Amino acid sequence: MIKSIKFLRHERSYRRLFISGFISGVGDWFNNVAVLSIILTLTGSSLAVGITLALRVLPYLVFGPLGGMVADRIPRKIILVTMDLTRSVLALSFLFVNSKDQIWIVYVVTFGLVILSTFYIPARAASIPTLVRKENLLTANALDQTSFGIVMIIGSVFGAFFTAIWGLQFAFTFNSVSFLVSALLTMGITFPRTGTKSNKITYKEQIKSFLSLCKKSRLLRAIIVLSALWPVGGGAINVLLSVYSFQVFDMGQQGVGIFYGSLGLGFVIGGIFADYISQNLKKMAAAGFILEGISLSIVSVSPYFSLASLMLFLGTVGSSIGIASTNTLVMEAVSIDEQGKVFGTLATLRNSILGISMFVAGLLLEWIQPRVLGFLGGILITIVGALVGILLVTDPSKQTFQEKKTC
C-alpha cells in the first residue's frame, strides 16, 4: 500500500484518472442499490430485476467493439470527458420514476448508461499506458483492482445506508454529481499525443487488424480464451451468491452483504499483493485464476457460512491478481494506438458471455442444486486458469508491440 501511495504521489496525471474513476465508481454503486430498490418497491417483480441486469450487459454485444474502435480514432480525453458529462445528465432521469407505469424509464436509462460505458471503459484502459511509466504499469493495474474492492465496499454499504436515510433521489443525484466531478478531474489531465487511426478505416478493417494482432501473439490468444471461458463459470457464481445466502446457509440479506464484503476485501488485498509480483506475470496470472477456481469449488461444498465467506475472499484475491497481471501483459504487448480495440473487444466478449451465463445459470437452478452448479463453475474456472497458464508460460515469443510512450 505504501508503494501505491508513493506511485500516486509521483504519477500526477494517473492520480487524477484514478480519483475520477473512484468517485464515479462509488456513484455507480449508489445507483445500483437505488435502481434495484425502486424496481422492487414499485413492481415487486423478480422479472423486472432480471431485465435490468440483462440490460447491463446486452449493449456490449453491439457497442463494445465500436467503443474500442472509437478509442483508437478519437483523442481519449475527449471520449472520457464526453461520456462522463453525458452520463451525468442521463443519470438524473431516474428522478422521474415515481410509479409502476414509469418503470420503462429505468430500462431505457440503464441501457443508455451502459452504452456510454462501452465507450468509456476501453478509452480509460488504453489511456493508462500513456499516463504512467512502463515500469509502473503493474502498480497502476493493481491499484485499479484495490480501488474496485474499496468502491464495492463503500458503494454497497454506504449506498444502502444513505438511501435509507435520505431516499432514492439522493442516490440518483449523487451518481449524477459523481460523473460531473469525474469529468472535471479528467479535464485537468494532460494526455500525451498518440497516433490515433484515420477515420477512413472501416469497421471491417478494424476487425481484420485485431485478428492480425491475435495471429502474431499467443498472449492475446490466451487472453481471448480466458475472456471467453472464464465468464461461463463466473456468471454462474454471480447468480449463486444470493442463492447460497438465502437457500443454502439461511443467512438472508445479511449473508449477501457479508459475501459482497468478502468480494470487496478480496479485490483490495489482491490488488495490494499484485503490486509485488512483477517477476513473472504469466505464472502469477495463471496461479491467480487457479486459486479462484479452487476456492469457489470449496465454497460450493462448505458446510459453514464462515468458511464459504473466507473461500470467497481468497478466490477474489486470486481473481484480482489474475486481472491485474493480464491487463499489464496486454498493455506491454500491444501498441498504445491499438489498445482501444483490444480492450473493447475483450470487454465485449467477457460481458456478453457473462450475461448469457447468468441467464442460463438461472434456468439451470430449476433442475440443478446450487451446490452442484457452484462446484461445476469453480472447476471450470480452475481448468481455464490452468489452460491459460500453459498457453502463457509455454509462449516462446518475447516480442512486444508496445511503442515507447511519447511525451
Q: Establish if 62 belongs to a structural domain.
A: yes
| Mean pLDDT of successive 10-residue stretches along the chain, which has 407 residues | 68 88 90 81 71 77 80 88 96 92 92 92 87 81 84 79 82 94 93 58 63 77 88 84 82 76 88 75 88 94 93 93 88 77 81 82 82 93 90 66 39
Q: What pLDDT shows up at residue 37?
A: 79
Q: What is the DSSP letter of 365?
A: T
Q: How far apart are CA 256 and CA 136, in angstroms?
A: 36
Q: How far apart are CA 315 and CA 296, in angstroms?
A: 6
34: Cβ–Cβ under 8 A, 6 or more apart, which residues?
Answer: 94, 159, 163, 168, 171, 172, 175
Q: Kindly report each contact of residues 106-110 with a partner whose C-beta sits within 8 Å and lies 24 or more positions away, as own/partner.
A: 106/35, 106/38, 106/39, 106/52, 107/51, 107/52, 107/55, 110/35, 110/52, 110/55, 110/56
Residue type, position 218, single letter: R
Q: Establish if 405 belongs to a structural domain.
A: no
Is pTM beyond 0.85 here? no
Q: Establish if 280 belongs to a structural domain.
A: yes
Q: How far apart are CA 79 and CA 99, in angstroms?
A: 35
CATH code of the domain containing 159: 1.20.1250.20
Under a CB-based contact definition with an 8 Å cutoff, are residues 151 and 25 in contact?
A: yes
First to last CA, the chain: 28
Q: Establish if 406 belongs to a structural domain.
A: no
Q: What is the residue-wise DSSP string for 371-406?
A: HHHHHHHHHHHHHHHHHHHHHHHT-------PPPPP
Q: What pLDDT shows up at residue 402?
A: 44
Question: Which region, left, alpha or beta, applies to residue 197 given φ > 0 means left and ψ of -120 to 50 means alpha?
Answer: beta
Q: What is the DSSP letter of 278?
A: T
Q: Establish if 81 belongs to a structural domain.
A: yes
Q: Establish if 12 belongs to a structural domain.
A: yes
Backbone angles phi, psi at 222, to 5 degrees: -65, -40
Number of domains in the chain: 1
Q: What is the residue-wise DSSP string for 254-276?
A: HHHHHHHHHHHHHHHHHHHHHTT
Q: Establish if 361 belongs to a structural domain.
A: yes
Q: Establish if 242 belongs to a structural domain.
A: yes
In this structure, how many other beta carbons lie within 10 angstroms of the beta carbon of residue 77? Answer: 15
Q: What is the DSSP letter of 245?
A: I
Domain that includes residue 302, residue range: 2-189+201-393
- The cell numbers describing 377, all together, are 463453475
